[in-house]
Amino acid sequence: DVVMTQTPVSLSLAIGQPASISCKSSQSLLGTSGKTFLNWILQRPGQSPKRLIYQVSKLYSEVPDRFSGSGSETEFTLKISRVEAEDLGVYYCWQGTHFPQTFGGGTKLELK
């Protein structure tokens, strides 16, 4: 199974500060289709997960452009240019390339 390793486990940041979350996979997530199914989702407290980014770097239409995703093969990064209050919660990376699909352990973003 593909192991997804997310770091850090938690982040405590003030509003306006940048954030960076790393996600590393134990094998390449480049699929035979030529696509890399690496997604980022956010679970706010008490809510179900919400979509953020798909295929490494593609933002869903409702996601603010302060979010960005990058990476390839086995190393991926989610960045927030300036953290806002609504960004708090747990961020998960999720690979959909290989079955069984697997999630990172999550990164909890807290506000200082």
Partner 1 sequence: EVQLVESGGGLVQPGRSLKLSCLASGFTFSNYGMNWIRQAPGKGLEWVASISSSSSYIYYADTVKGRFTISRDNAKNTLYLQMTSLRSEDTALYYCARSTYYGDYWGQGVMVTVSS
Asked if 97 touches partner 1 (CB under 8 A), the answer is: yes
Residues that contact partner 1, how many (by CB under 8 A): 25
Asked if 102 touches partner 1 (CB under 8 A), the answer is: yes
Least distance from C-beta 71 to partner 1, angstroms? 17
8, 109 Cβ separation under 8 angstroms = no
Kindly indicate which of the ranges 15-23, 69-77, 78-86, 101-109 contains the residues binding partner 1, using the contact rule CB under 8 A.
Answer: 101-109
Q: Which of residues 3-62 bind partner 1 (CB under 8 A)?
A: 37, 39, 41, 43, 48-51, 54-55, 60
Which tokens in the block code for residue 22?
A: 């790393």
Phi then psi dihedrals of residue 85, to 5 deg: -60, -35
Amino acid sitting at position 73: E
Chain length of the chain: 112
Least distance from C-beta 82 to partner 1, angstroms? 25
70/65 Cα distance (integer angstroms): 13
4/45 Cα distance (integer angstroms): 22
| Interaction site with partner 1 (CB under 8 A) | 1, 37, 39, 41, 43, 48-51, 54-55, 60, 90, 92, 94, 96-97, 99-106
